[in-house]
Amino acid sequence: MIRMKEIAKLAGVSISTVSNVLNGRKNVGQATRERVLQICLEHGYDPKTLTNKAKSVKSNTVVFVFSDFDRDFYLKIIEGISVCLTENAYDLIICTNKSAANFMHGSFASGAIVLDASLTDDYLVSVAKPDFPVVLMDRIIKSEQAETKSVIVDNYPAMCEMVQGLVDRGFKRFGFIGGLDFTLDNQERFAGFSDTLAKNKIDFDRKNYFHGNYREKSGYQAAKIMMLSNDLPEVLVCANDNMAIGAIKAFEENKIRVPEDISVTGFDDSEAAAMMGLTTISIPRYESGYLAAKELLAMMKGTAGKEPFKLSATVKWRRTVK
């Protein structure tokens, strides 16, 4: 088990400060107290003591759990969460799925906001209790036992609008790079894509569906595979910006011009997408974070409804579509 000396080093404080925190003395600032407790929890130091001490910060602490890749995507979301919580005198602790189990319980925090597909529905149902409500930003869980509410992007109509715009521009041969199949985002985005093509009587060959995982490298690899067929689609629709950017890099390496030879679209409207001039769908990330925090606070007070809160998204037409 980690020693007090090592905790002090990790926290950047003296051993006496760690001792004061663990003994509940009030001569330590709140931020330092929480930092020390967080490190102790991460390293399994004296769980019984920590459970008691953590209760002192429970009443004003919220946990945000996110995936440990593409951290730039989360900055605006975190900003929105932080602003709302600060306005209501709550503190925010941010962690990835690797350490989530240390913080996802009512003895440490008052609730959590989750945007991480790697945490299973079963796990979230097991931790979402009346004394520890959970707001989900990437899925909807229908369970009477779980104290959850969803604040999610309304992917389907936004994707329908963008694909209809592509059809109206004369595109007929489409490709699609999807994200993780089990995620709600990918399911809704592909449904909007395929339904709009069907509505316009445009056939979509499943051989032009390529699997990715939302990371840039997967988009790059999908485009490399696509190019082997020597039969590129006219337009490639990607389930997020990272994969679209990866695909564009692969095309450029092989002297395939965007948008002259192939048009490309994304979804998210990241800063990198704006810099590249990527046609995409803009998600109100700051607002989604703020609303997620607001809904969580309402759940803590018992005033929140159970129906999902869906945020609208808008199409951004840029230079990657001719």
Q: State the pLDDT at residue 48.
A: 47
Confirm whether 25 is domain-assigned. yes
Confirm whether 198 is domain-assigned. yes
> Is residue 303 predicted with pLDDT exceeding 70?
yes
- Crossing angle (nearest 10°) for helices 241-253 and 216-227: 40
Q: What is the CATH number of the domain that holds 1?
A: 1.10.260.40
CB 159 within 8 A of CB 282: no
Q: What is the CATH number of the domain that holds 264?
A: 3.40.50.2300
pTM (two decimals): 0.78
Region of poorest pLDDT, from 52-56, 143-147, 170-174, 257-261: 52-56
Confirm whether 179 is domain-assigned. yes
Comparing 127 with 34, the larger pLDDT belongs to 127
What average pLDDT does this structure show over 288-298?
96
Residue 22 is part of which domain span?
A: 1-45
Of these ranges, 97-101, 162-166, 304-308, the one predicted with the greatest mean pLDDT is: 162-166
Confirm whether 146 is domain-assigned. no
Q: State the pLDDT at residue 68.
A: 67
Confirm whether 68 is domain-assigned. no
| Spatial separation of the C-alpha atoms in residues 303 and 300, rounded to whole Å | 8
- The mean of the pLDDT values for the chain is 89
Number of domains in the chain: 2
Confirm whether 85 is domain-assigned. no
Q: State the pLDDT at residue 60.
A: 82
pLDDT in tens, 176-235: 999 999 999 999 999 999 999 999 999 999 999 999 999 999 999 999 999 998 889 999
pLDDT in tens, 79-117: 999 999 999 989 888 888 778 888 888 878 899 999 998
* Closest to 310 (Cα-Cα) out of 292, 322, 296: 292
Non-local (6+) Cβ contacts of 106 within 8 A are 58, 129, 131, 132
What average pLDDT does this structure show over 238-249?
97
pLDDT in tens, 12-51: 998 778 777 776 666 788 888 888 878 876 776 554 444 4
